[in-house]
Chain A
């Protein structure tokens, strides 16, 4: 085994409500910046892995065209996951374990703006019992929120406070989309969108991309002054049918967190893919994060939700907290599927 891997470069695009550029066009500078930050040559990269979903923007071979932003000639060794870029990072992490190459480029990207997410995501669900009902991410999240409220695990006020805090935190984040001062009382006065969720409890629709460069320990020490070490990473998935899970807890996040080693030392900061306001509490609990942990200083997914990149962006933001803001230990979380069906947890350290 090569020892712990490190993040030696990263970058994000801003998140736009509807990008004017094509996906390869806004991915292009993100990849270039991540590689430049890593301080390695583009042709040195041993493996490239991308996370994206053609169905988001409805164009076949979108993921192939995205490779134009990488520079795939002469041919490169690359792979793709129909998942958030966080899972592309996981695949690259596995690849680097073999020890024959020492760097990998990872990215996630997506344009949610061209389609109607409420119509696209039902197609990911069980085709016999759920897709024909057109049950969409917001309705499913609302079922989960209601279950939380009924169980006394959260209040609507706490949900509004998460929204207000996230938007305020996002003010300093140049990559965020929904920012500003919001008063929880004013938020609570808004009508329901899909009860018990109000519009502000939902993530924005975002176009965007992020990228990370991974390196082996030896390579990282050679080229990077302050590598961000991946001390642990794991992902778990639960049963698909919402009626067969306890939606108020996230068993898969808990197990992934244990396997990644979250609880072995104090956590300074956590970037969690809580796409809906009530999910932050579920994740905090699953990961055992106390009130002293700074959650989503970037604003999180409520401030910007570039599907297919948002989870990787949590890893980037967690890495930034260590590399740029002097934090020592961070947790990053990504999710896939509905109501936190599948979850990935990474533990990052500065030294």
Chain B
């Protein structure tokens, strides 16, 4: 058997993959992110008259492309379901415990996934009303909306 110069039994190689992406948005996401920059949440009207938020570029039922028929929704909405994140990852929008939630904004027929900065799991309840907390400096990004907060405490 060949001799080995292993210092420890465990040898591990590490590497990092990084890349800066710049994505063009097209008319639908451009309108949506521009809205967020302006502290507004937009939905798009589907073929059967439903308001989709976040807006999609095509009708989820038929696949047809949608007219650029945007409508402002919210600002407040209802938590349809939620999950309490005890240990945020470095990719999460907040660095302290928070909830991810599906929030159906007033006027929308679908729910938007985002964070709810409720402070504690005890403050979370399906059906509660929440309202956006906007970042001071906004650039046209989903995180311009920093998080939702309970409407009662806003």
How many A residues have CB within 8 A of the partner chain? 36
Known: A133-B115, A241-B54, A247-B81. A119 touches B89 (CB 8 A): yes
Q: Which residues of B contact A (CB under 8 A)?
A: 15, 17, 21, 23, 25, 29, 32-33, 52-54, 56, 60, 80-87, 89-93, 100-104, 110-115, 121, 126, 141-143
Instruction: For B82, give its contact among A129, A130, A143, A242 (CB under 8 Å).
Output: A143
In the bound complex, how far is the Cα of B143 from the Cα of A25, in angstroms?
A: 43
Residues of B within 8 A of A119 (CB): 89-91
Q: How far is the CB of B11 from chain A (nearest CB, A)?
A: 10
Give complex CA distance A122, B142 in Å.
14
Give chain A residues whose Cβ lies under 8 Å from the Cβ of B32.
128-129
A118 sits at the interface (CB 8 A): yes
* A46 interface contact, C-beta 8 A: no
Report yes or no: B89 in contact with A136, Cβ–Cβ below 8 A: yes
Q: Indicate if A194 sits at the interface (CB-CB under 8 A).
A: yes
A195 engages B92 (CB within 8 Å):
no
Cβ–Cβ contact B142 & A194, under 8 A: no
User: Contact: A143 with B15, CB < 8 Å?
Assistant: no
Option from B33, B82, B93, B101 in Cβ contact (under 8 Å) with A134: B93
Given contacts A192-B121, A193-B87, 12 further A-B contacts (CB under 8 A): A128-B23, A128-B32, A129-B32, A130-B142, A134-B93, A143-B82, A143-B83, A146-B82, A194-B83, A194-B86, A195-B84, A241-B60
Provide the residues of chain B in CB contact with A127, threshold 8 Å. Answer: 21, 23
- Tell me which residues across on chain B come within 8 A of A241, comparing CB atoms: 54, 56, 60, 110, 113
A244 within 8 A of B: yes
Give Cα distance in the complex from A128 to B121, angstroms.
28
